Structure 1
Amino acid sequence: MPEDPRQALLEIAKDAAIKAGKEVLRIYDSGDFKSYEKEDESPVTSADYKANEIILALLHEQTPDIPIMSEESNNGTLADRQHWQRYWLIDPIDGTQEFIARSGDYAVNIALIENNEPVLGVIYWPPGETLYYASKGHGAFKSSPLESKQIFVREFDEPAEDVVVIAISRRQSREKVMSRMSSERTYQTLPLGSCSLKACFIAEGKADVFLRIGVTGEWDTGASQCIVEEAGGKILSVDFAPLTYNQRNSTENPDFIVMGDKQINWTDVVKAEIGKKK
């Protein structure tokens, strides 16, 4: 059988994420970076811009016919992008706050979107030299200095009784998260930094669910969605509707849920009022 052409693109994305990640780690270790505040009051650093520069240069060189949308670039309007049938979706550093706070919980995200759906996902965690990646229909994988393996969400032995592990932000109120979970279950919480690392922990079975309440962009979920779905989970809005890519003027995501084992009825675990702003 002929090789899936996406596999060559996956290798390009992996290479770009690792190269950018190594430079980000060098900057992180040196502490020699500048922090800024964007118009939406979110933080950005000179390391974000450097990673963006590295990724864009490599992708433009290797895939000149594929357009790129990045958190740290001017992406134009929907009218400019709506004809894109395939494009790269980049978050040079997911977890910039964690990078600044020096928790180590940050990652480089690269996704390929085809017909408004993530079909490749690469997430690189520089401090652990760990790469998570997936291609639609080919499974999800983890590669680190300690192991290389295919990954899967955790399957519950007793779906109605097993403890549910919730990945939560280091800066998120545990009480706020727990107020949105059914009182019929038993929970453990696992504090982590970036959205994408939480998703990867669910994809490899270290956590079961993650609720993201707050502002994110499509670049925060593209790579994660492909990896989580190929590992057997799913990412949906808090209304349990599919996320959209390059279909609205805004690139801002709705609040969303990353879920593991599909045999769990997550609509019973996560309260419906999660979608209500508080």
Structure 2
Amino acid sequence: MLEILEKAAVEAGRVILGVYEAGIEVRQKADCSPVTDADEAAERIILRHLEEAFPQIPVVAEEAASAGQVPEIDGRAFFLVDPLDGTREFVGRHHDFTVNIALIEEGRPVAGVVYAPALGILYSGDGAAARKSVVSGGIEIGASMVIGCRMRGDRVTALASRSHNNAETVAYLSEHGITDYEAVGSSLKFCLLAEGLADLYPRFSRTMEWDTAAGDAILRAAGGETLTMDGTPLVYGKRNQPSDVDFANPSFVSRGRA
């Protein structure tokens, strides 16, 4: 399965880079978040790959969901797709935007691919986590390197969102005596934890499940975890929530090995 998810992500990444290089036209969705031609074109590519390879598995994709197109997923495995995570990074000409594809089973992200096309780096995980280079102009996937979370020492390094940092995050870091932190965009924060380059990622501003699922799958495969503020693992497929919209996440903290 991972090979197909990787192929879909890399093909979508080539289209995204084409828009990135040609010029970006930004529009506003109903929730006031930005969307571009790259988001929509990349989603079409990913959906085509998933429908051809796994016609029996429903797909919840960000842009389709925003248009009210959500399949029935109760009691079923399903895919979560964010065709362009970090649209603000993309529009701002940063390089840390990603393509995210994840498989969810019984509320858990069990397989995931995160591709950063501007960096030429592909992360994947489904029991073990790996990092790969994408070469030949974003066409060929290179050799794989197994990655894993590091053991947390006395000096903790945290990651925070570049575009969505807030006072709660700053307060959390201060309360836990964490002074070393770096602002990074998109789901790459999960991947940096999985690669052992940081220890902690607290998130108190809004995320949706398609923002986090693929990176979370890779982090868990690398030996890390994502916990809500009551200490339970973050779950996926959240519908009919009394205090929030479908597929919205609560606050959480992702971390490597304790």
Is TM (by shorter chain) over 0.5?
A: yes
Task: Give the 3 Å change call, closer, same or farther, for CA 241–47 of structure 1 in structure 2.
Answer: same
The SS at the match of 1:241 is coil
CA contact (8 A) 1:209 1:259 kept: yes
The SS at the match of 2:172 is coil
> Following TM superposition, by how much is the alpha carbon of 1:185 offset from its aligned partner in structure 2, in angstroms?
3.5
Aligned residues: percent identity? 40
1:182-217 deviation per Cα after TM superposition (whole angstroms, max 9, x unaligned): 5563531112111x1011111101111111122111
User: Equivalents in 1 of 2:233, 2:176: separation in Å?
Assistant: 26
- One of 111, 130, 143 as aligned partner of 2:132: 143
User: Equivalents in 1 of 2:107, 2:82: separation in Å?
Assistant: 17
Residue 168 (str. 1) matches residue 164 (str. 2) = no
> Following TM superposition, by how much is the alpha carbon of 1:116 offset from its aligned partner in structure 2, in angstroms?
2.2
Kindly report which structure 2 residues correspond to 1:201-216, keeping only aligned pairs within 5 A, or say none: 201-216=192-207
CA contact (8 A) 1:24 1:51 kept: yes
User: Equivalents in 2 of 1:164, 1:58: separation in Å?
Assistant: 40
**For residue 11 of structure 2, what is the amino acid of its counterpart?**
K
How many residues in Structure 1 have an aligned counterpart in Structure 2?
245
User: Equivalents in 1 of 2:96, 2:13: separation in Å?
Assistant: 13
| Larger CA Rg, structure 1 vs 2 | 1
1:215-266 deviation per Cα after TM superposition (whole angstroms, max 9, x unaligned): 111111111111101111101122322222224221111111111122xxxx
TM-score (normalised: structure 1): 0.81
Residue 57 (str. 1) matches residue 48 (str. 2) = yes
Residue 24 (str. 1) matches residue 13 (str. 2) = no
Task: Give the 3 Å change call, closer, same or farther, for CA 44–24 of structure 1 in structure 2.
Answer: same
2:180 aligns with: 188
The SS at the match of 2:30 is coil
**For residue 147 of structure 2, what is the amino acid of its counterpart?**
I
Structure 2 residue runs without a partner (length 5+): 136-141, 241-245
TM-score (normalised: structure 2): 0.87
Structure 1 residue runs without a partner (length 5+): 1-8, 263-278
Question: What RMSD, in angstroms, separates the aligned Cα atoms of the two structures?
Answer: 2.1
Kindly report which structure 2 residues correspond to 1:94-113, keeping only aligned pairs within 5 A, or say none: 94-113=85-104
> Following TM superposition, by how much is the alpha carbon of 1:39 offset from its aligned partner in structure 2, in angstroms?
1.4
